[in-house]
Amino acid sequence: MAVLIDGKKLAERICAEVAREAAKLPRKPCLAAILVGDDPASEIYVRNKERDCLKCGIDSRRFDLPAGTAQEELLSLIDKLNRDGAVDGILVQLPLPEHIDESAVIDAISPDKDIDAFHPLNVGKMITGEPTLWPCTPAGIMEMFREYGISLDGKKCVMVGRSNIVGRPMGLLMLRENGTVIYCHRRTPDLAEMTRQADILVVAAGSPGLITGDMIKPGAVVIDVAMNRDPDTGKFFGDVCFDEVEKKASFITPVPGGVGPMTRAMLMKNILTAAKISLKQM
């Protein structure tokens, strides 16, 4: 039976550490969160981030823009926040309305205030191994590995999913720790053949029940990033068939309570890091 990786408990400890470090700074770190439109899920995400900021001793400013906001108006707001010395992190909640170019918005955020770590400059620094802000979900998973003493050195690491938010950066961070990384995606033939080789299996495909018990090798570490919601019951579940896989894995993350809390905690840590960078430059 696998050891359950308690992301919620670890996230609470990280947030407490952020709060202690934030209290030592000459001013509170500050997050500016921008929400365009009235998507219910996005509203929940932004509200949760506001609560996390309060818990961590971080100020938060919220900017609610109507769905019909012109791209130029959004970019103008981002430029204003880039130049505001009291703002350390800028977060534009995705997805954006179809008429707004997501890439242009990401590129407009100052790399030093890019707490999601989506800006091309931060991505490039991650690839070359330079110090930078890391994407929150992959960074949270790396914290889990450290907390539970899971070494990636020389291990075969299989990443199912190749999104810019999770899959691609996750593979790069595992490579930094000397893992041998294999990327899998919807065009990968015989996915099970690949996943059965994995010492470390990270799944972020958004495909409920994709990974079954017969698709992993005994003793594998299994990280389930997905958060799928049953429309009938409202319950959340991942891409991994938990009951089957738990019996064979050595470590496994639950859904919910695994990766999700760590993503939010690492966002708080990124705001703290961005504030320290800003204060050093002042």
Question: Could you list the active site residues?
Answer: 49, 93, 116
Tell me if residue 92 falls in helix, strand or coil: strand
Distance separating alpha carbons of residues 4 and 158, to the nearest angstrom: 20
Structure tokens at 279: 């204060």
What gap in Å lies between CA 119 and CA 55, rounded to an integer? Answer: 27
Whether cis (ω within 30° of 0) applies to the bond prior to 261 is no
Note whether 274 and 115 are within 8 A (CB): yes
DSSP string, 171-216: HHHHHHTT-EEEEE-TT-S-HHHHHTT-SEEEE----TT-B-GGGS
